[in-house]
């Protein structure tokens, strides 16, 4: 395409007024683009602030239901739930993940009872339940075993689907688990339960505050580089996405978010499917620390950041700033 040169063309003309900026805006950000991650804790009437995530708390189940009502009122379509599991309930094999009355299942049922119009997404991975903090079953040498882990994740997904989860989000990075879960959901009578695959999930230093939030910090032996992706790789992310889609994922996720927008854009361009990004705990903490240090103004930073995800091609963003952003956009 050729354009007339200056002065016939002045791009500032369309920027001169709010009305014309609104007319030519290429990207929209609305509360409907947000998924709100929430941390659940045992008990009643409990709100426990998470020091590593200023402004974010763990809530007991009835508190989570209150947040779900708030989400509905704010136009946030979906919640992502994460349980805090005390050391006493953790085990080598993470078997509490398969307990149909575990904390997350009770939270799913309570939300779907009270606010059925809000979507509920649940993580499939064993790290909130293992004594070693890994996402799966480990051998004597500490290596996470792929196929035995996948078999347990299938059971975990079925337990969550039976409790009422709308979207199963495998966050473990085992090979073949999306296909195994999709097959089990079909056979188990849950053909309408969606799968959002954490398809391109990187072994990132940005997950620290999350591990505090779910009680895994300090437990983790070694690191997750044997199953999560190397931040050096982008082609490999495309291969991961291709596999998860072929295995039956309805949508895919890139994680972390802001440092990986190049991956979001490449996935969107290549596959033309719904792509989500997780603006993870360390990104949230980094923004909040910058705000506390006076480096910028919270509302503007949050909205600009979320707009960047949309511009890169995201259908939506998992973000701890979801309620603030929804208020600002509402």
Report the catalytic residues. 201, 255
Query: Which among 13-21, 123-131, 185-193, 294-302 is the span making contact with ligand PBG, rule CB under 6 A?
Result: 123-131
Q: How far apart are CA 117 and CA 131, in angstroms?
A: 35
Q: Are 254 and 278 in contact (CB under 8 A)?
A: yes
| Helix ranges, 164-297 (H) | 177-187, 208-214, 235-246, 261-271, 281-292
**Binding string to ligand PBG for residues 261 to 300, with x set by CB under 6 A, is what?**
-------------------xx-------------------
Binding flag, residue 210, ligand PBG (CB under 6 A): yes
Choice between 27 and 309, CB closer to ligand PBG = 309
Q: Are 142 and 221 in contact (CB under 8 A)?
A: yes
When binding is defined by CB under 6 A, the residue of 96, 127, 240, 244 that contacts ligand PBG is: 127
Binding flag, residue 166, ligand PBG (CB under 6 A): no
When binding is defined by CB under 6 A, the residue of 125, 199, 249, 308 that contacts ligand PBG is: 125
Q: Which helix (H) or strand (E) element contains residue 200? A: strand 194-201
Minimum distance between the CB of residue 189 and ligand PBG, rounded to whole angstroms? 26
Q: Which helix (H) or strand (E) element contains residue 326? A: helix 322-329
Class of residue 325 by CB neighbours under 10 A (exposed 0-12, middle 13-18, buried 19+): buried
Binding flag, residue 207, ligand PBG (CB under 6 A): yes
> Both tokens of residue 138?
């480990």
Minimum distance between the CB of residue 290 and ligand PBG, rounded to whole angstroms? 17
Where does this chain bind ligand PBG (CB under 6 A)? 123, 125, 127, 135, 171, 207, 210, 224, 280-281
């Amino acid at each position: 395409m050729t354009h007339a040169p200056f002065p016939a063309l002045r791009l500032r003309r369309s920027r001169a007024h709010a009305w014309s900026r609104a007319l030519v805006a290429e990207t929209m950000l609305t509360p409907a683009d947000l998924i709100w991650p929430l941390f659940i804790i045992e008990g009643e009437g409990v709100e426990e602030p998470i020091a590593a995530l200023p402004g974010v708390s763990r809530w007991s189940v009835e508190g989570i239901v209150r947040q779900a009502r708030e989400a509905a009122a704010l136009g946030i379509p979906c919640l992502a739930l994460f349980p805090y599991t005390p050391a006493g309930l953790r085990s080598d094999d993470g078997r509490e993940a398969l307990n149909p009355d575990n904390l997350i299942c009770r939270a799913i049922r309570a939300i779907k009872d009270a606010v059925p119009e809000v979507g509920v997404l649940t993580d499939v991975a064993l790290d909130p339940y293992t004594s070693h903090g890994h996402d799966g079953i480990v051998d004597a040498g500490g290596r996470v075993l792929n196929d035995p882990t996948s078999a347990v994740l299938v059971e975990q997904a079925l337990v969550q689907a039976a409790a009422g989860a709308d979207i199963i989000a495998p966050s473990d990075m085992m090979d073949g688990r999306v296909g195994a879960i999709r097959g089990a959901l079909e056979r188990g009578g849950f053909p309408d339960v969606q799968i959002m695959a954490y398809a391109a999930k990187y072994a990132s230093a940005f997950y620290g505050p999350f591990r505090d939030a779910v009680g895994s910090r300090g437990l983790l032996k070694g690191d997750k580089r044997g199953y999560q992706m190397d931040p050096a790789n982008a082609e490999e992310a495309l291969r991961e996405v291709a596999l998860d889609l072929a295995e039956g994922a309805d949508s895919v996720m890139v994680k972390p978010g802001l440092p990986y927008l190049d991956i979001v854009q490449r996935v969107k361009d290549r596959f033309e499917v719904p792509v989500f990004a997780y603006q993870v705990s360390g990104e949230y903490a980094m923004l909040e620390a910058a705000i506390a240090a006076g480096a910028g103004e919270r509302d503007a930073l949050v909205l600009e950041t979320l707009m960047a995800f949309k511009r890169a091609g995201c259908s939506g963003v998992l973000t701890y700033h979801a309620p603030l952003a929804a208020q600002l956009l509402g």
